[in-house]
Structure 1
């Protein structure tokens, strides 16, 4: 590598350290969700709906359309279709950005067939609920969607699958997580959700399942002050687009930052910063060593398991002495194991990180071996259900 390239890298590293790392705000490293940001952009500031309450969210939507015309991190991912429709709806609501709307609709109409056929017959539950909901909402507000005729039967099948979900699942039930109510913004008008259903299920922070999109919809439906306060907090904390869930575990964000620096081969440029993060994480784990981490809340379980497995792997990689029980605790909790088995899709990331953590197993660590076996079986079941995950290599473990 030439000296000029080395100098450029060093200059960039210095700039990142000066601008981003001194007083790290973990949320600055979290990718914005175009879908959720669009829903906050739809919230009106007054009953007459003359202007948006969160203008910064609308500005983010207008300014973050890709050159292909869509919104989202990956142009050929199915979530891009839902996000793009939501962004188009938000812009259309405030009668701005005619060119943005045209480019967004062109993208959806020209690429829907290619994107959908890649995941044919293996659509995630969330997509089966949200995508038809965005199509319906777009048409309700007067947006003309013209899909290719050869896609009609395909779309009808998706709508049919959604109806099966709506007919068989309860609004708030234990069979699937997250429940239907967490997709409030995408549920059809025919699915009668009362104001009481919403307010009775708000979290203490005013959110609906800590989802900015669902909470925006809840606030527009109820005018609940706690929900408004939650939305204001989200926007105040996440100025550059809102995340798909809020709040997030800030320790987990820092661990994911360290993990990403290592995966990109940049860890050597940030050794001091990485060590500072890991020292604090290690201190916290030693302080909480004897506390029971088990929780009956499925969200808490998923986040805790994700964080503990990433922390275990990174700390062992950097020479810290850490016991396997810090991430194997779930094995001795039959209720948690049952939650994982019953909601495998929800625990995909957690189980993948558990499996990766077991790569740092020492001889004689039987509980780590058990965790490896358990996580592998769960991941294999997931790949059988969803062939779209085959490209991640899970089926070759």
Structure 2
């Protein structure tokens, strides 16, 4: 969706994509069922049709928007709409796992489809009404509870927040040293399209360069990945087999903790996991560190 920053025209028809290689990746990596997302999730849906379905629906609609934005992939879009239509009942199923901010971001993408591309999705009016009422309730509740946590949540789901200047100025406060918002490529791309700052663009370019045009949901995720792996090994009770590797990783994570590394402290999940695992392994950390 990100236009090249050198484009002088404000007319989207005169603009070109900033990252054409990612557009090619989308065209080359659609799953057989018409979706985009984690390959394992697509493969396993034959056995467990609800597995990460909301995540796949979100990824698929995002790819549809990118293809529509640049006028390519008509057949891909047709296949994707079929996938969305077949699985539309999951959109309002609260029992299914959803990405953070899904209930705000997905309705925003639906609005973009209709308003910018005159694209009507195969969704019934009851589902649409339920989603937008839920979205409005979430945003209304957030508006009445101003806090750092509230602002951080809204900044994290920036791609669902529209054109509000107040939002983007608040979101800018959460920009990390690497130019990102919370190490999130999607939130950072949304911020760049509104703020047009060089740091956000540099972060996005680094992702494309490092990942060969395949953009991950979070980047970088080194500390969180290490913590998750250590947690899984300890849960299985086989940590004695990897004692040296775990000790080396925890020493590095503890150093990052002492240095106040933003990869730990600006992400609540990573911070809480790091505190728990470091404390369990007798590292001298405290909640007030």
TM-score, with structure 2 as normaliser: 0.74
2:245 to 251, 254, 277: 277
Q: What is aligned with 1:68?
A: 33
RMSD: 3.9
- Which runs of 5 or more structure 2 residues have no equivalent in the other structure? 43-49
Deviations 1:60-107 (A, max 9, x none): 222221111011233542122221111011012121111111101111
Is 2:3–2:17's contact at 8 Å kept on the other side of the alignment? yes
Cα pair distance change 1:299/1:137, threshold 3 Å:
same
Shift of 1:153: 1.9
Shift of 1:181: 2.9
Q: What is aligned with 1:142?
A: 117
Q: What is aligned with 1:184?
A: 158
Cα pair distance change 1:301/1:294, threshold 3 Å:
farther
Is 2:161–2:167's contact at 8 Å kept on the other side of the alignment? no
Which structure carries more relative contact order (alpha carbon 8 Å, separation 6+)?
1
Partners of 1:236 and 1:109 in 2: CA distance = 34
Partners of 1:152 and 1:289 in 2: CA distance = 49
Alignment of 1:148-167 (within 5 A): 148=123, 151-167=124-140
Alignment of 1:1-397 (within 5 A): 42-45=1-4, 46-47=6-7, 48=9, 50-73=15-38, 74-75=41-42, 76=50, 77-113=53-89, 115-119=90-94, 126-148=101-123, 151-170=124-143, 173-176=147-150, 178-189=152-163, 191=164, 193=166, 196-239=169-212, 241-248=214-221, 250-257=222-229, 277-284=245-252, 299-307=266-274, 309=276, 322-323=281-282, 329-330=286-287, 333=288
Shift of 1:261: 8.1
Is 1:173–1:179's contact at 8 Å kept on the other side of the alignment? no
Partners of 1:294 and 1:226 in 2: CA distance = 19
Cα pair distance change 1:79/1:326, threshold 3 Å:
farther
Partners of 1:263 and 1:231 in 2: CA distance = 35
Which of 1 and 2 has greater Rg? 1
Is 1:172–1:179's contact at 8 Å kept on the other side of the alignment? no
Give the secondary structure class of the aligned counterpart of 1:180: helix
- Which runs of 5 or more structure 1 residues have no equivalent in the other structure? 1-41, 314-321, 337-397
Give the secondary structure class of the aligned counterpart of 1:70: coil
**More displaced stretch, 151-160 vs 98-107:** 151-160
Partners of 1:290 and 1:208 in 2: CA distance = 20
Give the secondary structure class of the aligned counterpart of 1:229: helix
Is 2:54–2:99's contact at 8 Å kept on the other side of the alignment? no
Shift of 1:182: 2.6
